[in-house]
Structure 1
């Protein structure tokens, strides 16, 4: 009986070890590697007498804030954007690779219906992308203002009485990140794998307890 219990314990331990190893490998694969920060960004636009030059060496936090506004853009966007009368002031962001311009984006933080981004097809690095319009992040105006763009303070929501506020942006603009579904899928698979490990341990312990109980009767 002792030998059987020992063999069962060894089998359960091996199964748990394999499951934990698989869980660790899945977690490592699910964790995305952070992309390196560009060398800097140049911002030009309304009420900016000269370009606002931000460099990663001295302004890493500010550069990261600006890049966060455009880093999530997918391969395709909307073919048509708002009319020119509804766009408001435009700010062009040029992303640098070393001392050369790599990408450019037009940001409209005060556009009617919510912030918008336009990505031209022709880029400074000669790459060809599909031109498109995208909904911008809710905090675009505040982000640009925090890095030095002359914009008045804005609020993301309008007060709507008891029970909360009314969204300024349409519902489809609240989740612009193209890879959010992928991240949630990875998290779900990781949680299911952890549940499987717990079930294996529980089943093993229950089997051992049942065997010991029968042998001691």
Structure 2
């Protein structure tokens, strides 16, 4: 091999290596089938148009929480209800590990949307938060209009994945999925909130996003 060919080949390999290193370790998701796209932040802004839609709901302290609340912040979305006796208690317990780690970090926000908002008033959500000994001021339990919460869950967060995206709006929403969104409100991960291993991965992924 000539020196010219050698250096040219080495340069191409170097460019490929640099290009790969510039792509995120965590994929972007643009559709409810959760097909992963490993892209640089610059390319993602062009090639992954899906973002979390504007929203406005009331939290346990009767504070209005909107999409502006999570501007330029990482946020974790879950869908629960206070009377749930199956998966919700496990999800809340597992999410508490996330909450405790980032409690003093205002750049990481947790949003738990009630799927029975006609029952879960701000007071009921406040009592629920206190009963679960959650002190994190950046963990908001949200209530509002059922249709708006369900549409946001299915159309923006893809909370029920492929099937949920096409679900009848009257069908009850009940999912163990937890969604991770980055500083640009783009979906970066989906996790089973009842599995400790998934929660551990969620924490690792949040740490990666904080460095992006």
TM > 0.5 = no
Q: Output the TM-score relative to the length of structure 1.
A: 0.28
Tell which structure's C-alpha radius of gyration is larger: 1
The answer to which structure, 1 or 2, has the higher relative contact order (CA under 8 A, 6+ apart) is: 2
Alignment TM-score, normalising by the size of structure 2: 0.29
